[in-house]
Amino acid sequence: MSRLLVINGGSATLKFGLYDDGRCSLRGLVERLDEAPRLRLLQGSLDDDVFPASEGGHAAVAEALLAWLDRRVGLATLDGIGHRVVHGGTALDAPVVLDDDHLAYLAGLEPLAPLHQPPALAIIRALRERLPAMPQVACFDTAFHRTQPRVHQLFALPRRLADEGVLRYGFHGLSYAHVTRRLPELLGERARGRVVIAHLGQGCSLCALKDGRSLTTSMGFTALDGMMMGSRCGSLDPGVVLHLQQQRGMAVEEVERLLYRESGLLGVSGLSADMRDLLASDHPHAEEAVALFIERLLREIGALVALLGGLDALVFTAGIGEHAAEIRARTARRLAWLGARLDEDANREHAPRFDAGSGPALVVMPTDEEAEIAAATRRCLEASFPR
């Protein structure tokens, strides 16, 4: 019997799950981390158990969540804890039972994932303090993409930088691994063809798959590249960064804040980073942000289709991909040139297949990063501590 806790610190939410022999019995998330943290259970019930009020901010919320989980499941009774760690660099490309050396290496990558790596490592350290003997496993977003052909890992920069690890890594790998594993149930052989997955959540990226493996992906060295996101700009002329620093005298920290936290849907709309708010608003700036989101999405899809040499299936996943029928419809209608045909009713109903039966398959598939982490953690613990 294995009892595992999984923690997934996204940029906007803190998700968790409890797995007994792979079966999930409790799953939920804390959202609105910065203002009014709120616990929402997706599986299991709160009964009269109250989630402690806490001030905003990742550290305070994490502390409150660990205290609540300890009361609820008894952390000391676990066999292990699995974590999503977004950046594994060049050295860590498979799940590991964390030791001091790993933690020091991963801390060195914090500047490459400022929204994700520091809070994830802080929770790991807090758990190590509480439970020094508890095995903790890190599962990496970057791992899925380490199979990308070298030419897709390179930037057009002097090659010494590539030798030093300045490469396109790619992220959301746990989500892509989950969707890739499940896709044959829906598509059969076609799942091994030319597939593009659009992971559209707070962070957004796309991945081109060939034979079920990552060929290339829209995120690069950091989770800032590629698609426009909730509060991140995505691909940007690097000349803008030079301009901000040289002509406007902005400090590095200010530029980082602008690109990671003040841009994307939030920056363009001036209203919200949350797609729900923008779709519900009739403010012209909200519509402009959504319009730009669609254009940027089409640009990314077009690039990946060109690299794949065609398209057999387009898959939408994560918060926006799974729930925003309007975004899927507006995107799919513009792909008629690829032979895509939208079934409007199926799309409105969030049916798993929403194409009209010809052209590339149009698919909605819920992602489950926590289930992926639970399975990977279990395999890693079994290999590291054979009975």
Ligand X SMILES: Nc1ncnc2c1ncn2[C@@H]1O[C@H](COP(=O)(O)OP(=O)(O)O)[C@@H](O)[C@H]1O
Ligand Y SMILES: CC(=O)OP(=O)(O)O
Helices 284-308 and 325-333: crossing angle in degrees, nearest 10, is: 60
Interface characters, 117-146, with ligand X (x: CB under 6 A): ------------------------------
- Shortest Cβ contact with ligand X: which residue? 319
In this structure, are residues 86 and 113 in contact, taking their beta carbons and an 8 Å threshold? yes
- 171 touches, from ligand Y, ligand X, Mg ion, none (C-beta below 5 to 8 Å by class): ligand Y
Residue number, 173 or 230, with CB nearest to ligand X: 230
Site for ligand Y in 192-251 (CB under 6 A): 201-203, 223
In a 3-state reduction of DSSP, which class is residue 182? helix
CA–CA gap between residue 127 and residue 4 (Å, rounded) = 14
CA–CA gap between residue 56 and residue 312 (Å, rounded) = 44
CB of 226 to ligand X, least distance (A): 15
CA–CA gap between residue 94 and residue 145 (Å, rounded) = 11
Residue number, 289 or 318, with CB nearest to ligand X: 318
Say whether 141 is catalytic: yes
Residue number, 171 or 176, with CB nearest to ligand Y: 171
Residue number, 78 or 106, with CB nearest to ligand Y: 106
Candidate list 141, 225, 312, 368, residue with the active-site label = 141
Neighbours of 65 (CB within 10 A): 22
CA–CA gap between residue 320 and residue 264 (Å, rounded) = 14
- 297 touches, from ligand X, ligand Y, Mg ion, none (C-beta below 5 to 8 Å by class): none
Indicate whether 379 belongs to the interface with ligand X (CB under 6 A). Answer: no
Indicate whether 114 belongs to the interface with ligand X (CB under 6 A). Answer: no
Range list of β-strands (E), the chain: 3-9, 14-20, 23-31, 38-43, 80-85, 96-97, 136-140, 195-200, 204-210, 213-217, 313-317, 361-364
In a 3-state reduction of DSSP, which class is residue 35? coil
Residue number, 171 or 354, with CB nearest to Mg ion: 171
In this structure, are residues 15 and 8 in contact, taking their beta carbons and an 8 Å threshold? yes
Q: Which stretch binds ligand X (CB under 6 A): 8-16, 57-65, 184-192, 218-226?
A: 8-16
Strand 313-317 versus strand 195-200 pairing type: parallel
- With contacts defined by CB under 6 A, how many residues of the chain interact with ligand Y? 11
- Shortest Cβ contact with ligand Y: which residue? 203
Measured CA to CA in angstroms, residue 109 lies from 82, 116, 158, 209, 299 at distances of 19, 11, 21, 26, 29
Active site (catalytic) residues: 141
Q: Which residue ranges make up the site for ligand Y (CB under 6 A)?
A: 10-11, 86, 116, 141, 171-172, 201-203, 223
Q: Which residue ranges make up the site for ligand X (CB under 6 A)?
A: 10-13, 201-203, 230, 274-276, 279, 318-320, 323-324
